[in-house]
Amino acid sequence: MRGTHRILTTIVALLALQLGSLVAPAYACGCGAMIPTKDQRIGVDREESAVRWDGRTETVVMRFNVHGDAKHAAWIMPVPSRAGVTLGDPELFDALDRLTEPEQRDRFHFWPREGDWPFDLDHGDEAGAPAPGASGVGVVGRERLGPFDVARLTATDPDALGTWLRTNGFELPERLTGALQPYVERRWEYVAVRLAPQQEDAVLQGELTPLRITFASPELVYPMRLSRLAETSQSLGLYILAEHRMEPRSPIGGDAPEVTFAGRIEPAGPIVGLTGEQPVHLTVLEQEFPHPERIDDDHHLRAVADTPYRRVEYTDRLLTVGDGIPVWLLTVGGGLLLTALATLLVVRVTRRRPAVGAGVRSAA
């Protein structure tokens, strides 16, 4: 039952990400569009995806952190070819996080700062600082996946696709139809997911079980166009596993993507289930979309030079010696001591030197 509840939480998060209900605003995600039922709200704190591409086949594993009061939701994701859908390994992202942790280094400073002696006024511990069809729509397959109703579709008309979704229980805002037009023109297919919960009172909150979608693709592409429907800023984290370091061709309307890790890894644990046991290159990208309405394309990623990179986090520490004695204190104290000794020596020499005028008068 616990596993079913985690699965239940999974797709609903996906569904809340990209589309919005006419009554309750939707929240977009890079891969798809998530829609809660009317009078309910669902928000996605963050979207993370692990993407494996071997030059022919692409696998996207998505994880979301959600909040809100939605008990039902539906989700649609465009894909460039026929897709297979399964549940992902919940441990995958934790393993990737551990593997790509920033390198920790100490950075020393000479002069005391706030928090260093003698300015450390507080010595206490500090607390550490998301079936019926319609004309123009083909049903490739429809199956039950845990508590989810999953439909794989083709469409030659975005209006017909919208009609099919609504007729089959996938509640969808009207404005999504226009957003799907570029995918229809390119003859992409679609994965639609409808939550059919076994626990009717379950609310979609927290970390959802990942969803894994696999499809053939001659290039590494990450669908993002539907995120332009979002009404709040979007945050994207991508773990890209390929033969080389991969980076987006353009920011597609967001801030410049930031590489936080790049390097060759030896897969272990849950990562093996995605990549196999052979070494692969892992690139981690972070990107912010302050104005989602400016998103104008999907992410198309290309191979670049395999330059390794790991983010470094510095801890600033006061330079000390021995049992924690500040170097600045020894330096300043030593300098004052030398100055005092030199002054004392000058005074003593001056006192011992005889007066020249007094000696001449005595001889007379």
Query: What digits encode the pLDDT tens for the residues 80-121?
Result: 999 999 988 989 999 999 998 887 667 766 666 666 566 554
Burial of 125 (0-12, 13-18, 19+ CB in 10 A): exposed
Is the pLDDT score of 225 beyond 70? yes
Is the pLDDT score of 277 beyond 60? yes
In which band, very low, low, confident or very high, does the pLDDT at 358 lie, cut at 50, 70 and 90? Answer: low
What is the enclosing helix (H) or strand (E) of 288?
A: strand 280-289
Question: Averaged over 288-317, what is the pLDDT?
Answer: 89
In which band, very low, low, confident or very high, does the pLDDT at 52 lie, cut at 50, 70 and 90? Answer: very high
- Report pLDDT for 356: 56
Q: 309-310 and 258-265: which strand pairing?
A: antiparallel
Is the pLDDT higher at 294 or at 115?
294
**Cα(41)–Cα(23) distance, integer angstroms:** 9
For residues 56 and 218, the answer to whether their CB atoms sit within 8 Å is yes
In which band, very low, low, confident or very high, does the pLDDT at 25 lie, cut at 50, 70 and 90? Answer: very low
- Report pLDDT for 259: 95
Residue 56 has which token pair?
């022919």
Is the pLDDT score of 252 beyond 50? yes
**Cα(213)–Cα(10) distance, integer angstroms:** 13
**Cα(53)–Cα(282) distance, integer angstroms:** 11
Is the pLDDT score of 315 beyond 50? yes
CA distances (Å), origin 73, targets 133, 169, 181, 312: 20, 10, 23, 40
Neighbours of 51 (CB within 10 A): 24
The amino acid sitting at 178 is: G
- Report pLDDT for 126: 37
In which band, very low, low, confident or very high, does the pLDDT at 194 lie, cut at 50, 70 and 90? Answer: confident
Is the pLDDT score of 8 beyond 70? no
For residues 243 and 55, the answer to whether their CB atoms sit within 8 Å is yes
Beta bridge partners of 301: 220, 248
- Report pLDDT for 165: 85
